[in-house]
Amino acid sequence: MVNCYGPTEVAICGSMYIVDAGEQLPDGPVPIGEPIRNVEAYILDEDQNPMPRGAKGELCIGGVGVSRGYLGRKDLTAERFIAHPTVPGQRLYRTGDMARWRADGLLEFQGRVDHQVKIKGYRIELGEIETTLLNHGEVDQVALTVVANPEGIKELSAYYRAEVSLTDAALREHLLQFLPPYMLPTHFTQLEEFPTTPNGKVDLRALPNPWDYQSATAVDQVAPRNVVEQKVFDLWVPIFPNTPLGVYDDFFALGGDSLEIIRLHEALNKALDVDMDIAYLFSNTTVEAQAHYLVSQHPYLNETATEMEAAEEYDEMTF
């Protein structure tokens, strides 16, 4: 059995890994082997510098099989075919695939470059999030995209299909068991069917705008009704300075993200002198739910709130 790797731009087969009859496959992903004769492979970083063995980067291929470029597409040719780092006059083809050199000298495929994104300084592998969502027992199809919010800030948007109705909080809670907070999508949209291209692949461009979906499910805005809700509400205001808020509004639907939840967590602990588990903020995503959780875990907050309300009423009466 031969595992061949190579895009059309480098004559189809640029490297191969041969498995002899009866040979046991190595642990982990099956490698894509070594470059064939007269073909070179380089693992480069974003600045096209060589990466050390074991480090992941973009796989670039050189040698006799590299094509001259794309007919009538000078812009794309200039983007995908770059100067050889060590041989003047020669070129490399940027495959768009991530790979690494293993310790045994074999190449290992690591996914697509365009499936890796950078959100607020963090490099995120979309496939890792998709796989984790698919491990949820009720989810049977997933797609992730990067969308820009009205302020132009990039956010992760997850789309999924499930036979039952799932809450965003339940999905965040599931993801938090396996992923760090910064990898959590800001938006979750449940679809009955995914749009597809003529060849049957998910049409990412045809996926609905998450804000359109949220506006269709908007809730009535209700002001804080007690002191604890007011304290939580007041800590939300700096996060959403130009947004009308209510106690039923969802933190993530408003455009909040996992990094802002971390800051909210720190502010709540400091303002209320508590030690709240941050995981509960991901599953309690409204002012009402967060205030209710805080009181359920720290009943004295309700007593303190009642005393504060009584004191305020007394001050108003005496004034």
Which CATH number goes with the domain that contains 291?
1.10.1200.10
- 30 compared with 318, residue with greater pLDDT: 30
Mean pLDDT of 74-90: 89
- Which residue segment(s) compose the domain that 150 sits in? 120-215
pLDDT of res. 207: 92
pLDDT of res. 291: 92
Residues 105 and 156 in one domain: no
Residues 7 and 108 in one domain: yes
- The type of residue at 99 is A
With cut-offs at 50, 70 and 90, classify the pLDDT of residue 304: low
Any domain includes 139: yes
Residues 100 and 8 in one domain: yes
Q: What are phi and psi of 164, to 5 degrees?
A: -120, 160
With cut-offs at 50, 70 and 90, classify the pLDDT of residue 51: very high
Residues 200 and 164 in one domain: yes
What is the three-class DSSP state of 169? helix
Structure tokens at 237: 């205001």
Any domain includes 55: yes
Lowest mean pLDDT among 121-135, 160-174, 290-304: 290-304
With cut-offs at 50, 70 and 90, classify the pLDDT of residue 303: low
Any domain includes 220: no
Any domain includes 222: no
Domain termination site, one of 215, 235, 260: 215
66 burial (CB, 10 Å; 0-12 / 13-18 / 19+) is buried
d(CA 304, CA 311): 11
